[in-house]
Amino acid sequence: MSDDHLADELNDYAAHLHGVGRLPTPVEIRQLASRRRQRKAVTATFGLVLVGMLGLGFAVTRTAGAPPSSTPTPPAPTPSRPSDASPSTGASPSGTSSPSSRTPEPGASSGSQGPPLYSSDVSVLKRLGVEFNVGVLIDVADDGLDRYMEVGPNGVVDFTGTSRTDNTMMALKPARVPSRTDETKNRVVIAPPFYNEDLGPGQCVTDTAPGVLKLQTCEPGSAAQTWQVYPAGDSGQFELHGPKTVIRVNEGKITSGEGYVGLQTITFAD
């Protein structure tokens, strides 16, 4: 027994003697000490239970009164809608394909500006012996003389050429047209190879005014540089019609009056 417990026992014993005026028996002393120890044990146990209940109540109170989380709840996803600026590539309601889903026509090319252009259909001219994409002389067919299309001073084009030179070597190329139809068949541009050797757009024969042809920078799809070829029979002869000029040659000059209209190509390398 510790000193504290011994002191308590002696104090209790003294009080008991004072109250009853007699000495307790050893049995009574042991019973008294046992009851005191039981009371202390019960008191300690009750204290622990009370502290535990107070702690649990405090925790529950904090949980119930805790502020909501500051992390925002992500909004529910909104069903996506196709942009009005993006053309649909699927079939249209009428069952026809939209322009973006069509199969490109042969020879189609699309630039950063304007609608696509296509190579004109010149298959009929090829069968008649008209040569394309090679150096040729464009000759007046029925005058009995050597009169070739020629680039002259200041880029003026006429038929004063009489020999094979850089200025008389021409090349016919299929013109670029908005679509491949019967109305756009047999359209050509005339591009002298000597003036189209460097990188860049090159130079093409341009119908600048009635009876006036000049060499100017090529512009794909340009009406002034697009020539309609009309076959003249099956001999390989043809006529060249521009938007302002039907080529007629008289004494080597292009004229709007009387003149030869039949032309032919002669391979330049011969």
Q: Which sequence spans correspond to the domains of the chain?
A: 3-63, 116-267
Structure tokens at 108: 């189609």
E strand or H helix that includes residue 133: none
Apex CA 216: angle with CA 210 and CA 118, to 5°? Answer: 90
Cα–Cα distance, 65 to 104 (Å, whole number): 70
pLDDT at residue 80 in the model? 47
Q: What does the pLDDT read at residue 269?
A: 84
Helix (H) or strand (E) segment spanning residue 255: none
Buried b (16+ CB within 10 A) or exposed e, 221-247: bbebbbbbbebbeeebbbbbbbebbbb
Encode the chain (270 residues) as per-residue pLDDT tens digits: 555 555 666 666 556 555 545 555 656 656 666 676 666 665 666 656 555 666 655 554 555 554 444 445 555 545 444 444 333 444 344 444 333 334 344 445 544 467 899 999 999 999 988 999 999 999 999 888 999 999 999 999 999 999 999 999 999 999 999 999 999 999 999 999 999 988 788 999 999 999 999 999 999 999 999 999 999 876 789 999 999 999 999 999 999 889 999 999 999 986
**What's CA 47's distance to the chain center, in Å?**
78
Residue 212's pLDDT is what?
96
The residues, ordered by sequence, that sit 6+ positions from 203 with a Cβ below 8 Å of its Cβ are 155, 191, 192, 195, 196, 215, 216, 217, 218
Output the CA–CA distances (angstroms, integers) from residue 259 to 63, 157, 212, in the order listed.
Answer: 108, 16, 15
What are the residues whose beta carbons fall under 8 Å from the beta carbon of 155, sequence distance 6 or more? Answer: 203, 214, 215, 216
Q: What is the pLDDT of residue 82?
A: 43
Q: Which contacts qualify for 99-107: CB closer than 8 Å, 24 or more apart?
A: 105/179, 105/180, 106/180, 107/174, 107/180
Instruction: Tell me what pLDDT residue 232 has.
Output: 85
Does the domain formed by 116-267 have CATH 3.40.50.300?
no
pLDDT, residue 133, reads: 94
Cα separation, 84 vs 86, in Å, equals 6
